[in-house]
Amino acid sequence: MVGLSTAWFLQERGVEVTVVDRDGVAAGASWGNAGWLSPGLAIPLNEPGILRYGLRSLLDPGAPLHVPATPDVKLLSFLTRFAMNCTWKSWSSAVQANLAFNEECLEAFDVLTANGVEAPTVEAPITAAFENTRQAVGLLHELRRIDDSGLKIRYTALDGDALREQAPQLSSRVKAGIRLDGQRYVDPGRFTRSLADAVAARGAVIRSGFRVTGVHDDSGALSVRSGAGDSVRADAVVLATGAWLNDLGAAWGVRVPVRAGRGYSFTVPTDQPVSGPVYLPAVRVACTPYQGRLRVAGTMEFRDADAPLDRARIDAIIASARPLLTGVSWDGLTDPWVGPRPVTPDGRPLVGATDAPGRFVAGGHGMWGLTHGPVTGRMLAEQITTGKQPAALRDFDPTR
């Protein structure tokens, strides 16, 4: 999503583009995520509560946050840096840094859908649901902090009939809710493929199955090379490889580690149509209307990006969400999926020029690569073509 968005906005500025992809369009997190376009919830992970929650979760194999026992020194170093950033000061700085992205992200989607990207975005509130009002207070405090940062969010507390009317799939155990207005959702795989079609229709070459092994200087140009011996020459290169960003980026001066915070999703039938996204914050589960059914997504698993799907994580999501939802046919589960989301320790993505001439980076968006993909592409395209760093990208310097 991030790479294709950058390609599209570069084309808007008259740049000829080649896209190389190790697997294929929408083969990773751009397919399996919850599909939310949610500036109201696109907030950094490193708030203090997540540290306390994470420490409690270490002894619970079914917890939404999962860090398997590992001798991986780099992962332990990353988690230490992440923990050091779990302060209100660091979190507030990250919220402020992301403010421009959240303010402009929906407009960037509108630019795409008005100019050749045929997949729609759907306007709908996100309903956050809780078993009691005490649980809701935590999200209310977070929303107020975001509101104080300058991003104005419209939200309403719900209970009783109003809550059930908003989201009929909520069970009787749910007693309190918060409706966030001004949000949207998409079918993420369909949108990403439609974006790729639009990029190709404008003349770009998209090469799938091209696994990049290096980018080298070659007679005044850059040569992007694959493990199979193929190469593509270019004047500039944008690295938008998600959780694998450090594989090449480290040699370009990217100092911030990016780790895979793996998320799981699957699809289930429902007795009634689902009118909009439902969020279950206490168990960290996101639910979205998806092709006439319900996509259920959750968990944050710090494991190797290429590790196989762990069915126990899906079972844990079901066990946590089942008591809070009704009219869901859990036995009809299809499309089980796991994919890596690129997480940074300070809650800020990596977008901009690197120390290596002609080499740029766009990644590290955590859970919000879909929401922030188009606005990232628009701002990075401006920097590449003008040589001037937009003010909104200063805090995202990949060499910080």
Helix (H) or strand (E) holding 245: helix 245-249
The total of structural domains in the chain comes to: 1
Query: Which residue stretches of the chain have pLDDT < 50?
Result: none
- The CA-based diameter of the chain, rounded to the nearest angstrom, is 69
Domain region containing 155: 2-396
| Cα distances (Å, whole numbers) of residue 297 to 37, 50, 216, 343, 393 | 15, 18, 39, 17, 30
Residue holding tokens 């990217």? 254
Question: For residues 351 and 376, what is the distance between their CA atoms, to the nearest angstrom?
Answer: 7
Element at 9 (helix H, strand E): helix 2-12
pLDDT digits (tens, 9 = 90+) for 173-188: 999 999 999 999 999 9
Q: What is the pLDDT of residue 51?
A: 67
Q: What is the pLDDT of residue 12?
A: 97
Amino acid at the residue 224: V
**Cα–Cα dist 158/193, whole Å:** 37
Which pLDDT belongs to residue 57? Answer: 61
Amino acid 127: pLDDT: 96
Helix ranges, 351-400 (H): 369-386
Which of 345, 341, 373, 314 has its CA nearest to residue 29?
341
Q: How far apart are CA 225 and CA 232, in angstroms?
A: 7
Match 């303010």 to its residue by tokens: 103
**What pLDDT score does 385 carry?**
97
Helix (H, G, I), strand (E, B) or coil at 152: coil
Closest to 319 in 3D by CA, of 62, 58, 128: 62
Joined tokens for residue 10: 């570069």
User: What CATH code is carried by the domain that includes residue 71?
Assistant: 3.50.50.60
Query: Burial level of 45, CB count in 10 A (0-12/13-18/19+)?
Result: buried
